[in-house]
């Protein structure tokens, strides 16, 4: 029943095999045995996909209940164990690979040596349920996806530009005047910025990027090369600010910070390794 339920969740024998550490033929064999024992067809099979029969739908609901109860018991045992063990799959935006979050995850790994971690550093947003991911770190406004979320911290950003680029432009005193400058856009972010000053005033700037890239590291390097304005996380460009390779485009105004969130599937048990990691990150 467990293999059948995992096959339905994964959408294929191959996907279930990958998550269970079995071969696709073994997964298919167990599902076929279950069908033979029950005397009904549970899955319709094609070369591209699987779909549930009516009997399969009924059994899947029961199988999920059984597995949830078993997982709750196992998670409770793991919580009480002196050394929690298991596997966690995590996805983290590539831009945070150089930040303190990696140090926090490393501290978790040191504290729980029997927990194996698989970490994907990618700015491409992955589907947690489809891809079997236990925890995602996401930046900015979250879509209403039915996933659970908890804010970890705010990510401070700076609006920066190369000194050589500034020398070619007329002096500016207000954020709106920057709309006509060249901007370096990040594909995953909208083409607008909200700037905030020390008095709490805010102004929104909508712009059309001259250059768009899918890497924040590339955004920083292109800004240093003098191709326009960029608003990376402050921690990423602190060396360039200290050396003068980048300067603040409009002193006194900063880019609105972005929330950084832990996001996880709604059926993750409260005492699971996922929640243990979330609590660990919040404590730090």
Of 89-93, 94-98, 139-143, 180-184, the least confident: 139-143
pLDDT at 177 over 60: yes
Q: Alpha-carbon distance 154 to 141, whole Å? A: 12
- With H, G, I as helix, E, B as strand and everything else as coil, classify residue 123: coil
Rounded to whole angstroms, what are the CA distances from 197 to 155, 191, 200?
17, 20, 5
Distance CA 64, CA 57 (A): 11
Picking from 57, 1, 278, 280, the residue whose alpha carbon sits closest to that of residue 151 is: 278
- 17's tokens: 């095999």
- Crossing angle of helices 13-20 and 2-10, rounded to 10°: 120
Give residue-wise pLDDT tens across range 180-200: 899 999 888 888 899 999 888
136-160 residue pLDDT tens: 999 988 876 788 899 999 999 999 9
3-state helix, strand, coil in the chain (%, to 5): 40, 25, 30
pTM of the prediction? 0.65
Place of tokens 């924040």: 216
The pLDDT score that the predictor gives to residue 270 is 66
As a whole-number percent, the residues of the chain with pLDDT over 70 amount to 95
Nearest to 77 by CA among 279, 284, 276, 272: 272
Report the percent of the chain where pLDDT is more than 90: 53
User: DSSP label at 115?
Assistant: E
Q: Is 264 helix (H, G, I), strand (E, B) or coil?
A: strand
Instruction: Find, among 107, 140, 102, the residue nearest to 120 by Cα.
Output: 102
pLDDT: which is higher, 131 or 31: 31
Buried b (16+ CB within 10 A) or exposed e, 202-226: eeebebebeeeeeebeebbebbbeb
Tokens encoding 81:
């164990």
Residue 153: per-residue pLDDT: 93
Structural domains in the chain plus CATH codes = 2-80 (1.10.10.10), 86-153+260-283 (3.40.190.10), 156-257 (3.40.190.290)
pLDDT at 260: 93
Paired tokens of 92: 């983290």
Q: Note the residue count of the chain.
A: 284
Mean pLDDT of the chain: 88
Classify residue 244 by burial, with Cβ atoms within 10 Å: 0-12, 13-18, 19+: exposed
Pairing of the two strands 253-264 and 192-197: antiparallel
Does the pLDDT of residue 29 top 70, yes or no? yes
Tokens of 257: 């910070």
| Angstrom distance (rounded) from CA 277 to CA 182 | 41
Residues 216-226, mean pLDDT to the nearest whole number = 94
- φ, ψ of residue 5 to 5 degrees: the values are -65, -40
3-state secondary structure of 83: coil
pLDDT (mean) for 237-259:
93
Residues 6+ apart with CB under 8 A from 191: 183, 185, 206, 207, 208, 209
Mean pLDDT of 234-245: 94
| pLDDT at 132 (0 to 100) | 85
Higher-pLDDT residue of 95, 184: 184
Please compute the mean of the pLDDT values over residues 59-74 and round it to a whole number. 79
CB atoms within 10 A of CB 133: 20
Asked whether 185 and 212 are in contact (CB, 8 A), the reply is: yes
């Amino acid at each position: 029943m467990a293999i059948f339920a995992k096959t339905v969740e994964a959408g294929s024998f191959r996907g279930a095999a990958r998550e269970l550490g079995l071969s696709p033929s073994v997964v298919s064999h167990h599902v076929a045995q279950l069908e033979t024992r029950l005397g009904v067809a549970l899955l319709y099979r094609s070369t591209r996909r699987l779909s549930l029969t009516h009997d399969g739908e009924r059994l899947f609901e029961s199988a999920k209940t059984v597995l949830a109860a078993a997982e709750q018991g196992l998670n409770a045992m793991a919580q009480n164990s002196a050394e929690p063990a298991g596997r966690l799959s995590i996805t983290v935006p590539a831009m945070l690979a150089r930040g303190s979050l990696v140090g926090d995850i490393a501290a978790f790994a040191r504290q729980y040596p029997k927990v194996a971690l698989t970490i994907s550093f990618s700015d491409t947003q992955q589907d947690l349920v489809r891809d079997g991911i236990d925890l995602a770190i996401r930046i900015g406004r979250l879509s209403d996806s039915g996933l659970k979320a908890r804010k970890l911290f705010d990510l401070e950003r700076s609006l920066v530009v190369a000194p050589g680029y500034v020398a070619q432009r007329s002096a500016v005193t207000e954020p709106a005047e920057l709309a006509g400058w060249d901007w370096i856009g990040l594909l995953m972010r909208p083409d607008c910025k909200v700037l905030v000053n020390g008095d709490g005033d805010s102004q929104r700037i909508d712009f059309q990027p001259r250059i768009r890239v899918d890497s924040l590291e590339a955004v920083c390097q292109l800004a240093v090369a003098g191709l326009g304005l960029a608003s990376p996380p402050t921690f990423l460009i602190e060396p360039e600010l200290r050396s003068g390779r980048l300067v603040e485009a409009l002193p006194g105004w900063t880019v609105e910070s972005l929330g950084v969130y832990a996001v996880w599937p709604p059926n993750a048990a409260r005492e699971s390794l996922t929640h243990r990691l979330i609590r660990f990150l919040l404590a730090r």
